């Protein structure tokens, strides 16, 4: 393949067809189309629903339909789209994409620090995969906040809020990841060697700060004891992110490097890492549910979430991966373990977000704990069904991952094994 060099980077020459109409891009367009439909639906609910005004209230204030419309206007109808519940599927997907992508980037940085050659030689592909997931997570949260909210946030800054903790974080984090990718694929190796170790140490610090700030966002919700009482929440986010991140790295290795000479050694390395990670995560789960507020613990372990927790999260994230990697086997077993951690990781994020909202908190309206409807007795568990638009945006965020990875791969051949 012909290539040209610019700023120390070797760019592959390509065609419009290969760039925009490759099979992977066509799949991405389908996902992005689903996301566009979701955005249309969400904006319709938020900004173009029928309005209630003083005139209609004056004409017939006792009209049941009008009362119901007023209730919906105040409390919303579905999920985070209309703000009936604070955090729902948008935050689940944001957490999963951001934390898993950051986990991949973090693991690669650790491999660079400890000079693990098997990963260093193919690190560029892993880093881009991680970056693509981070950008997909930010796409999700951007559609959640929407342009009006973001504009208001910039016009009325409040440095103590979660969004103002995230804004400077990602303004630093994403350019730094791009710098790391540049250092991995540049041909100016002598220049890189002068700064490599210091930059890698700074990368580890930035990764740790990112997970700390993410944990801080949840700990601000002081009434949500599932979030605030998890012991060392930053550690939980790192362990659970590493589990799903290793799953994606295994799948990426199988798809991109299964015909390469070091494939079996790489899969064996991932087998060992998955075994350690899911074992530590399992121990953490036991400790965490012994320490958190018993109301939340009982809802998840013995209440409405019990089947999803044990037959979804525990089975797929910990039990099955452990069984598949506990002894050395063929690489296909590690691949299955990777798939299980990917699925289980998403279920874990879902339980964490919805479980945090599950238990009502106060007796604000006098007829039960805090809830979304002042005219009825609250249920024991507060569950909000995601809106169709929200689901479409979450599914469509996969398209962002595909587009980012494809564009980097076309120009820089991410599957190529590089001497480090």
**C-alpha triplet 116, 118, 124: angle, nearest 5°:** 95
Mean pLDDT over residues 47-70, rounded? 58
Q: Say if residue 212 is in the same domain as residue 255.
A: no
Choose one of 316, 345, 360: the last residue of a domain: 360
Percentage of the chain beyond pLDDT 70 is 74
pLDDT of 373 reads 47
- Whether the per-residue pLDDT at 146 is higher than 90: the answer is no
Q: Tell me which residue of 167, 157, 161, 295 sits closest to 220, measured CA to CA.
A: 161
CA distance 239 to 402: 25
pLDDT at 176 over 60: yes
Does some domain include residue 382? no
Residues 201 and 231 placed together within one structural domain of the fold: no
* CA neighbor of 80 nearest in space, from 98, 93, 66: 93
Q: What are phi and psi of 377, to 5 degrees?
A: -70, 135
Tokens coding 364: 């604000």
**Which of 106-110, 179-183, 287-291, 321-325 bottoms out in mean pLDDT, i.e. has the lowest?**
179-183
Q: Shortest CA distance to 317 belongs to which of 281, 272, 356, 267?
A: 281
Per-residue pLDDT band at 365 (split at 50, 70, 90): very low
Q: Which domain holds residue 245?
A: 224-360
pLDDT of residue 269: 95
Rounded CA gap, 281 and 47, in Å? 42
Do 73 and 45 contact (CB within 8 A), yes or no?
A: no
pLDDT at 223: 62
The 10 Å Cβ neighbour count of residue 255 is 11
Tell me the per-residue pLDDT of 60-90, one tens digit each, with 9 for 90 and over: 656 666 665 555 555 444 444 444 455 788 8
User: Per-residue confidence at 326, pLDDT binned at 50, 70, 90?
Assistant: very high
Let me know whether 42 and 190 are in one domain.
Answer: yes
30 plus 100 within the same structural domain? yes
User: Are residues 119 and 171 located together in one domain of the fold?
Assistant: yes
Which of 83-87, 148-152, 310-314, 403-407 has the weakest average pLDDT? 83-87
d(CA 210, CA 171): 12
In this prediction, residue 121 carries a pLDDT of 86
Q: Say if 275 falls within a structural domain.
A: yes
Highest mean pLDDT among 32-46, 196-210, 245-259, 349-363: 245-259
pLDDT higher than 60, residue 224: yes
Q: Are residues 197 and 274 in the same domain?
A: no
Same domain? For 148 and 206 the reply is yes
Whether residues 216 and 317 share a domain: the answer is: no
Q: Is residue 186 part of a domain?
A: yes
**79 found inside a domain:** no
Return the closest-CA partner of residue 139 out of 418, 404, 416, 406.
404
Residue 200 reports pLDDT greater than 50 = yes
pLDDT of residue 56: 54
The answer to whether residue 149 scores a pLDDT higher than 50 is: yes
6 phi/psi in degrees, rounded to 5: -150, 125
What confidence tens digit (pLDDT) does each residue in 276-322 have? 999 999 999 999 988 887 878 888 898 888 999 999 999 999 999 99
Confidence of residue 336 (pLDDT cuts 50, 70, 90): very high
Q: Stretch 228-241: mean pLDDT, rounded? A: 89
In this structure, the answer to whether residues 128 and 25 fall within a common structural domain is yes
- State the total domains in the chain: 2
Let me know if residue 197 belongs to a domain.
yes
Residue 118 pLDDT > 80, yes or no? yes
- Assess if residue 393 is contained within a domain: yes
Residue 376: what pLDDT? 47
| Statement to judge: residues 99 and 192 lie in one domain | yes
Same domain, 216 and 282: no
Of 341, 360, 379, at which residue does a domain stop? 360
Predicted local distance difference test score (pLDDT) of residue 159: 65
The secondary element (H helix, E strand) that includes residue 176 is helix 162-185
211-215, 280-284, 415-419: range with lowest mean pLDDT = 415-419
The per-residue b/e assignment along 174-208, b for 16 or more CB within 10 angstroms, e otherwise, is: eebbeebbebbbeeeeeebeeeeeebbeebeebbe
For the cut 90, the answer to whether the pLDDT of residue 360 exceeds it is no
Residue 245 CA to residue 345 CA, distance in Å, equals 9
Give, in order, the Cα–Cα distances in Å from 176 to each of 127, 187, 200: 11, 19, 10
Residues 251 and 278 in one domain: yes
Which of the pair, 130 or 205, is modelled with greater confidence?
Answer: 130
Please indicate, yes or no, if residue 231 is contained in any of the structural domains: yes
Give the pTM. Answer: 0.85
Q: What is the mean pLDDT of the chain?
A: 81
Look at residue 47 and tell me whether its pLDDT is greater than 70: no
Higher-confidence residue of 47 and 134: namely 134
Min mean pLDDT across 281-285, 357-361, 387-391 is at 357-361
Q: Is residue 276 part of a domain?
A: yes
Final residue of a structural domain among 342, 360, 378: 360
């Amino acid at each position: 393949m012909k290539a040209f060099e610019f700023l120390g980077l070797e760019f592959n020459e390509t065609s419009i067809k290969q760039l925009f109409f490759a099979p992977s891009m066509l799949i991405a367009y389908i996902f992005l189309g689903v996301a566009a439909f979701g955005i249309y639906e969400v904006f319709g609910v938020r900004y173009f629903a029928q309005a209630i005004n003083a005139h209609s209230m004056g004409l017939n204030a006792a009209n049941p339909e009008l009362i119901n419309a007023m209730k919906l206007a105040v409390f919303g109808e579905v999920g985070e789209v209309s703000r009936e519940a604070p955090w729902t599927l948008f935050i689940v997907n944001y957490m999963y994409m951001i934390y898993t992508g950051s986990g991949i980037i973090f693991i690669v940085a650790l491999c660079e620090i400890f000079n693990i050659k098997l990963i260093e030689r193919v690190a560029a592909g892993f880093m881009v995969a991680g970056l693509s997931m981070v950008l997909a997570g930010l796409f999700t949260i951007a559609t959640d906040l929407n342009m009006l909210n973001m504009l208001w946030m910039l016009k009325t800054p409040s440095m103590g809020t979660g969004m103002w903790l995230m804004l400077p974080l990602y303004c630093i984090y994403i350019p730094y990841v791009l710098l790391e990718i540049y250092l991995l694929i540049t041909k100016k190796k002598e220049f890189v060697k002068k700064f490599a170790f210091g930059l890698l140490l700074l990368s580890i610090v930035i990764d740790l700060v990112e997970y700390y700030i993410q944990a801080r966002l949840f700990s601000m919700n002081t009434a949500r004891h599932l979030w605030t009482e998890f012991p060392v929440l930053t550690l939980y986010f790192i362990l659970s992110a590493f589990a799903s991140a290793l799953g994606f790295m295994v799948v990426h290795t199988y798809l991109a490097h299964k015909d390469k000479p070091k494939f079996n050694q790489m899969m064996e390395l991932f087998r060992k890492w998955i075994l350690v990670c899911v074992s530590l995560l399992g121990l953490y789960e036991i400790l965490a549910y012994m320490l958190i507020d018993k109301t939340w613990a009982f809802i998840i372990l013995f209440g409405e979430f019990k089947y999803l927790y044990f037959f979804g999260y525990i089975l797929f994230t910990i039990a099955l991966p452990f069984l598949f990697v506990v002894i050395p086997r063929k690489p296909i077993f590690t691949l299955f373990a990777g798939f299980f951690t990917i699925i289980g990781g998403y279920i874990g994020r879902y339980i964490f977000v919805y479980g945090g909202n599950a238990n009502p908190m106060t007796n604000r309206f006098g007829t039960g704990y805090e809830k979304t409807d002042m005219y009825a007795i609250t249920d024991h568990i507060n569950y909000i069904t995601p809106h169709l638009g929200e689901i479409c945006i979450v599914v469509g965020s996969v398209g962002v991952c595909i587009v980012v990875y494809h564009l980097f791969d076309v120009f820089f051949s991410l599957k190529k094994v590089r001497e480090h």
